[in-house]
Structure 1
Amino acid sequence: MNPEPDERLAALIQACIKGDKNSQKALYKSFYGYAMSICMRYSMNREEAAEVMNDGFMKVFTKLTKYDTSRSFKGWLRKIMINTALDNYRHNLKHYYQQDIETSPDVSASGNVLADMAYEDIVGLVQKLSPAYRTAFNLYVMDGYTHEEIAEMLSISVGTSKSNLSKARENLRSLLKKNKDEYARYSR
C-alpha cells in the first residue's frame, strides 16, 4: 500500500533536510507549477519569475528546518515565494519604470472580457502594470493582504497602497478594454 500524500511529503521534506539532492529535485518538481504561478504574478516576465522562484526554492531548502509540520507546506512555500518576489521588487525598484499616477488612463471596460481570456492572458495583463501597481494589486486582490499589511511589507503609507491599487485597477480596465477591442477586430 502506498503511503498517504502527507506522509510522502513529510518523508520528502525530511530527506531534503538531510541534504538528499534527489529529494530536493523531487520537491522542486512537485511544487514548480504552484511556485511559478505565484512568482509570475509579481514579475515583469517569465525569466524574472523563474529567477525569483529559484531564489525562493533556495530559501526553502535552507530554511526547511524552520518549517512547522503542523501547518500547510503549500502555505509556507507560498509565503516564501511572495516574500522573495517582494525582496526582488525592492532590490530592483530603482530600475523599474513607475508610471506617473496623473497620466494613467481612466477607462472602464464594458462586457465580460475576462470570461474569454485564458489565465496566461490575464497574468500577462497584470505583468504590464508598473511594478508598484502590480505588487499592490497582487498582494491585495490575489493574496488577500490588507492595506496596512501591504504598507508595512513595502515600507509605504496605507494611502499609497490604496492609491496604487486604485490605479492598478484603472490600468487593468484600460488594458482589458484595449484587449476587448483587439479581440473584436480580429474575430470579424
Structure 2
Amino acid sequence: MGAQNLERVSESETKAEKALLHGCLKQDREAQRKLYQLYYGYAMSICVRYSRDAEEAREVLNDGFLKVFTRLSQYDPDKPFKGWVRRIMINTALDNYRHNLKHYHLYDIETAHPAADTFNIEQQLSYQDLIGLVQGLSPAYRAVFNLFVLDGYTHEEISEALGIAVGTSKSNLAKARANLREALKKADINECKQNV
C-alpha cells in the first residue's frame, strides 16, 4: 500500500487513522505506537479468547502487531482496516495454537471430556465471566469454539486452519459446549451456596 493508495482507504477510516497508517508505512515509531494504542483493546479482546491466560494473550497480541507493521504494505485500502487487523490477530492466535499444540496435550484428560447433559442455561453472565469460562477450555476445544461460535468459521474452514478433520472439529465443538455447560452448572451451584 503506497502513499498514493492511502486516498482509497475505506470511508470508515478517519483522517487520523490514514495519517497513522501513512506514518507506519514510513516506519515512524510514534505512528506505530499510536496505532498500537488505538487498536490495543480491540485486538486484545480477540487474542484473549484464543489464549489460556493474559500472558499468552499479550504474546499473541504483540506477535500480531508485529505482523500488522511488517505487512502493512499488503493491506487493501478498499477494505476496513479493523477487519484486516482482526484477521491477523485470529491467524496469529491460530499460529500460536499450532506451535504449542504438543504442549497442550498435557492437560488432565478427566477435565477435557465431561459427559454431555441437557443443562438449561438461564443465568446472565458478564463478558468477563464468559471469557473466563472459555479460557478454561482445553486449547483444542477453545480454538474450535472461538472459531465456530464467535468468529463464524465453518467446520471445513476450521479443519483447514487447524489441520484437523472436519469430524474432529465437530467433536471438539460438542465437547467444548459440554465443558461450558458443566462449568456453568458448577458456577450456579457455587452461587447458590454463597446466597444461603
- How high is the TM-score relative to the length of structure 1? 0.92
Match of 1:166 among 174, 178, 188: 174
Show structure 2 runs of 5+ residues with no match.
Answer: 1-11
Q: Which of the numbers 66, 70, 76 marks the counterpart of 2:78? A: 70
Paired residues, number = 183
1:39-188 to structure 2, matched below 5 A, reads 39-96=47-104, 97=106, 100=109, 103-113=113-123, 115=124, 117-188=125-196
Distance 2:120 2:61 in 1: 35
Write the distance in 1 (CA, Å) between the matches of 2:182 and 2:121. Answer: 13
CA distance in 2 between counterparts of 1:133 and 1:183 reads 26
Q: Deviations over 1:141-181 (max 9, x none)?
A: 00000000000001111111000001100110000111111
Q: How far apart in 2 are the matches of 1:109 and 1:46?
A: 29
State how far apart, in whole Å, the 2-side matches of 1:54 and 1:103 are.
32
Shift of 1:108: 3.7
1:109 Cα shift?
2.9
Q: 1:103 to 1:137 in 2, by over 3 A?
A: closer
> Aligned to 1:152, what secondary structure does the other structure show?
helix
In structure 1, C-alpha distance between the alignment counterparts of 2:50 and 2:121, rounded to whole Å: 27
98-107 or 84-93, which deviates more: 98-107
Q: What is the TM-score of this pair, normalised by structure 2? A: 0.88
> What SS class does the counterpart of residue 14 from structure 2 fall into?
helix
Q: 2 CA distance for matches of 1:125 and 1:175?
A: 7
Instruction: State the 1:122 CA deviation.
Output: 0.6
Flag structure 1 segments of 5+ consecutive residues without an equivalent: none
RMSD: 1.6
Summarize deviations over 1:75-104 as a string: whole Å, max 9, x none: 100000000000000000101135649942
Conserved in 2, the CA contact under 8 Å of 1:42 and 1:135?
A: yes
**What residue number does 1:20 align with?**
28
Instruction: Answer yes or no: is the 8 Å Cα contact 1:98–1:131 preserved in 2.
Output: no
Kindly indicate whether the alpha-carbon contact (under 8 Å) linking 1:110 and 1:177 is maintained by their aligned counterparts in 2.
no
Q: 1:99 to 1:146 in 2, by over 3 A?
A: farther
